[in-house]
Structure 1
Amino acid sequence: MSKDIRTNEADLNLVKKFLAYANCADASYALILFIFLLILFNGCSQYDKFKELCEKESSQTTIHNECYWEIFSNRKKGNTQHDDKGEYYYSKKLNKKIYFDYQKAKYINVSQKDIGKITDTIFEAYYDNIHYATIHSYSYSRKGIFLGGDEANGFHFYYEKTDYCKDIGY
């Protein structure tokens, strides 16, 4: 069934009202686009700042005890071995096996500053009550809709995610 539209019989006021609504919609879309771009570029500039801080993060670590720092940095790199007593690292400087006891390891949060979405945290690292390093750490918090989980735990959505320098390859 076809409809016969007669433009010559259309009410001029109705056409003007329709055009006014269309102009209002165009302005609304422009405003929404402006807000979206503002949020996008503000978030991108902060994320770029976060990446710059991550590049500098390792240079801001202060090492107070070189031997303990070597032990823990080699532990993170996977340069350890196992025997019947547990996991150990062989120190060439000390010429002996050093076993890990994680109950002796402590990280104390000394300060934390929030700079927009970026958090600057300073930790003091202790092993067996010996302060061996002061570590700078940065994180970036973002909001969105993220899918998580797996087939064993079930899938779920979460709405906030925090990235750390190690997550982006630094």
Structure 2
Amino acid sequence: MMQTPRLAQMPPDRGVWLEIDLAAQALTIREGDTCRETFAISSGAHGIGQHEGSGQTPVGWHYVRAVIGDGLPPGSVFRGRRPTGEVFSPALARAHPERDWILTRILWLCGLETGINRGGEVDSQRRYIYLHGTPLDQPMGVPASHGCIRLRDAALLAVCEAAPAGTPVWLHD
């Protein structure tokens, strides 16, 4: 059975942190115990899991390793964590139906718990687990991603504003 960290194990800094409730398909920006804002998400279509290549969303304590794309327009397209210079549009989607769209910003997560989401075949950073934008035609509130956390652009920009690199993130079911 998968080990899920408890909230009581939260890092000692009780400032701003992100809670991602995979059962509720929601991301909450918290400041200490206070809920600042909650957004619908879409997590891994294959459920919850830690292993590389699973297409599942990992659980446990993470932190935002990097925020990528600051200053780019909403809808900016990324491949390999680099902007392509494109801005998403329905015409671009029709021209490239095979792409898994990573849009607007990337918050790259790094696990904090050895053997759960850090190291070996369970390393969230090496699995390229992100919070990122997604096209409007993609569902929110249901698992549909390849393991990352998808958000609408406005929600992602609000999260980026509140959660710079180093912000703790707790993913749980």
Smaller-chain TM-score bracket: under 0.3
Whichever of the two has the greater Rg, that structure is 1
- Larger helix fraction of residues: 1
- Larger strand fraction of residues: 1
The TM-score, its normalising length taken from structure 1, stands at: 0.22
The TM-score, its normalising length taken from structure 2, stands at: 0.21
Greater relative contact order (Cα < 8 A, sep 6+): 2
